[in-house]
């Protein structure tokens, strides 16, 4: 996926917060797949107001603006690839992709403690892929002790990134019985995500995330997706968290 998709809900407090845990993620086998796989993963969210955040939710952000409403600075994250096993029957016919680190920057505007919008731009540290995310976060009213939020996000890729994930060479296309595909830059996906935190004690609880996305443009039109995958991408995550 475009990122390590475990979602929590940020605290409105200005005090530093720390959360650690572990969970399981049910995600598409590869970006565009119709099949799914389960993977265990750590949960980390260290939030230092006016300094930055390190998390398996949004990667690393460093706040250099320190404004009342504006925040921004360097950004880094980790993008999953796809292994021979992830590809299933396509393994050996379609190129496997190694994970990559990304580096870039972000800018965010918080209207209040409930609503914020922002954008991230990043580039592969060892590759030619470039990525753009535009998002909006809305914190919903609590239900008892349950905290919850929604996120809307639109994602785009440059040509090299789009071809890496959705392109097919002539040899690959022949191997799987489809047409070659060499997409250019453009929109890649839009999704809506629901996040909730269900406390079990003062310092523990379950973090839940449900993400429903839809591939767009050249990504959705890829013969790889049309013949062997799905435009609709759904993932769920559940993690047990200790926070303080």
Provide the domain limits for residue 50: 17-205+214-243
* Residue 35 confidence (pLDDT): 97
Tokens representing 196 are 């909730």
Torsion of CA 244, 20, 72, 66, to 10 degrees: 20
Q: What is the pLDDT along the chain (244 residues), one digit of tens a residue?
A: 333 333 444 444 578 999 999 999 999 999 999 999 999 999 999 999 989 999 997 899 999 998 999 999 999 999 999 999 999 999 999 999 999 999 999 999 999 999 999 999 999 999 999 999 999 999 999 999 999 999 999 999 999 999 999 999 999 999 999 999 999 999 999 999 999 999 999 999 999 999 999 999 999 999 999 999 999 999 999 999 999 9
**Distance linking the first and last C-alpha atoms of the chain:** 29
* Residue 163 confidence (pLDDT): 99
Cβ–Cβ under 8 Å, residues 236 and 183: no
Tokens representing 86 are 């992830």
Q: How far apart are CA 13 and CA 48, in angstroms?
A: 10
**What CATH number did the domain enclosing 80 receive?**
2.40.160
Q: How far apart are CA 107 and CA 118, in angstroms?
A: 6
Q: How far apart are CA 132 and CA 135, in angstroms?
A: 10
Decide if 2 is inside a domain. no
Instruction: Report which DSSP code applies to 172.
Output: H
* Residue 3 confidence (pLDDT): 34
The closest alpha carbon to 167, from 147, 144, 188, belongs to 188
Decide if 49 is inside a domain. yes
The closest alpha carbon to 32, from 69, 86, 99, belongs to 86
Decide if 5 is inside a domain. no
Close Cβ partners of 40 (under 8 Å, ≥ 6 residues apart): 22, 23, 24, 25
Question: What's the domain count of the chain?
Answer: 1
Instruction: Report which DSSP code applies to 168.
Output: B
Decide if 4 is inside a domain. no
Q: How far apart are CA 84 and CA 94, in angstroms?
A: 9
Decide if 50 is inside a domain. yes
* Residue 182 confidence (pLDDT): 98
pTM for this model (two decimals):
0.90
Q: How far apart are CA 185 and CA 44, in angstroms?
A: 32
The number of residues making up the chain comes to 244
Q: How far apart are CA 71 and CA 65, in angstroms?
A: 5
Decide if 146 is inside a domain. yes
Decide if 28 is inside a domain. yes
Decide if 8 is inside a domain. no
Q: How far apart are CA 43 and CA 23, in angstroms?
A: 7
* Residue 208 confidence (pLDDT): 97
């Amino acid at each position: 996926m475009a990122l390590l998709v475990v979602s929590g809900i940020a605290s409105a407090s200005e005090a530093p917060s720390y959360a650690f845990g572990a969970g399981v993620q049910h995600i598409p086998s590869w970006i565009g797949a119709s099949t799914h796989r389960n993977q265990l993963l750590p949960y980390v969210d260290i939030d230092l107001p006016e300094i930055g955040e390190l998390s398996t939710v949004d990667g690393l952000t460093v706040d250099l603006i320190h404004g009342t409403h504006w925040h921004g600075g360097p950004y880094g994250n980790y993008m999953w690839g796809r292994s021979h096993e992830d590809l299933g029957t396509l393994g050996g016919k379609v190129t496997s992709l190694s994970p990559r680190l990304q580096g870039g920057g972000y800018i965010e505007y918080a209207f209040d403690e409930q609503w914020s919008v922002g954008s991230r731009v990043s580039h592969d540290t060892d590759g030619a892929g470039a990525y753009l995310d535009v998002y909006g976060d809305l914190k919903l009213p609590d239900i008892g002790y349950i905290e919850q939020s929604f996120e809307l996000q639109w994602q785009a890729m440059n040509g090299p990134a789009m071809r890496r994930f959705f392109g097919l060479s002539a040899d690959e296309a022949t191997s799987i019985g489809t047409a070659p595909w060499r997409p250019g830059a453009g929109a890649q996906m839009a999704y809506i995500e629901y996040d909730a935190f269900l406390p079990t004690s003062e310092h523990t609880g379950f973090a839940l995330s449900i993400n429903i996305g839809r591939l767009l443009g050249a990504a959705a039109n890829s013969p790889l997706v049309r013949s062997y995958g799905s435009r609709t991408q759904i993932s769920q995550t559940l993690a047990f968290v200790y926070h303080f």
